[in-house]
A and B are shown apart, each in its own frame.
Chain A
């Protein structure tokens, strides 16, 4: 068993949904997306942790809702896995959330384009931090 020096992250999608909630939705309109993240442990074996996740993106004002759900498999040393699921600095989400969002962003972008609703932006910030500034 050779040791793995790099953490492996595999994102597998089970569900992709996009809903246009209003006829007034305009792809070019200025808007922002709120992302609700829900994650839970599915399976844990030595050197591997599998998490179920759901990312719900809701456009503000509410003209669209995009959802991706699936599982993410993290393979590597225990410390590396613990590090990626631990929330980062005050403003940043855990690395695993950022990675899932990065990997699914292209799909969300295409989905938004197809629905003719505003495009979500690529970076994530913790909501409460954003509200206080």
Chain B
């Protein structure tokens, strides 16, 4: 009689079987703590309302700071991973430790290298994001020269985290919060 766990294994696809096998430890190899990375940015696509151009500029500056910080984090992580892998010595690893499950690539064989590859991909993605946001901010002075009514509202259109369009809405009524009331301390 075939044990249940084996029955289950036989029903799995080759990719899933590969994942189900625990990574093989090299004899005598000592596991060292490896650097970690946590964070991420949500690439916003949408429209954001502002009451002034200065607020738009501050918002774009905030985006840029965030992208720079993520970029720096990924750079530091990759450098730390390279150092950690070098200290562990060159190991012979399977060149392709990824298995495709549906639309997602899964790596359970070499998580350290997997994380490093993902961080390198993050670096590749962040660089143009930083560059194009910097460009938007550099050219902001030209936007400030555009004549606008004092009671204008500004709608910034973002596409995958990048400021792409700015809509100036003249005579926009922006409701401001105010409160005057009396209470008793009891």
Contact = CB atoms under 8 A, between A and B. Distances in A.
B182 interface: yes
Interface in B159-181: 176-181
B182 A2 contact: no
Contacts of B131: none
Contacts of A36: 180-182
Given A45-B55, A120-B185, A124-B186, A37 B179 contact: yes
A69 interface: no
Contacts of A93: 181, 183
Given A1-B41, A1-B42, A46-B59, A40 B178 contact: yes
Contact of B185 (A46, A85, A124): A124
B58 interface: yes
A90 to B, nearest CB: 13
A130 B182 CA distance: 11
B185 A44 contact: no
B66 interface: yes
A37 B181 contact: yes
B82 interface: no
B61 to A, nearest CB: 11
A62 interface: no
Q: How large is the interface on A (under 10, 10 to 19, 20 to 34, 35 or more residues)?
A: 35 or more
A35 B182 contact: yes
A79 B114 CA distance: 39
A112 B66 CA distance: 45
Contact of A2 (B40, B49, B58, B177): B40
Contacts, number: 91
Chain B's interface size range is 20 to 34
Nearest to B174: A44
B79 interface: no
A61 B25 CA distance: 80
A93 B42 CA distance: 36
A85 B175 CA distance: 14
A41 interface: yes
B183 A51 contact: no
Nearest to B177: A41
B140 interface: no
Contacts of B181: 36-37, 93, 97, 126-127
B182 A127 contact: yes
Contacts of B41: 1-2
Contact of B184 (A39, A49, A127): A127
B45 to A, nearest CB: 12
Contact of A32 (B66, B177, B179, B184): B184
A90 B77 CA distance: 54
A121 interface: yes
9 contacts: A1-B42, A1-B66, A2-B39, A2-B41, A32-B186, A34-B184, A36-B181, A121-B186, A127-B183
Q: Give the top 8 A-B pairs by smallest Cβ distance, nearest first.
A: A33-B185, A127-B182, A39-B179, A41-B176, A41-B177, A35-B183, A124-B183, A121-B185
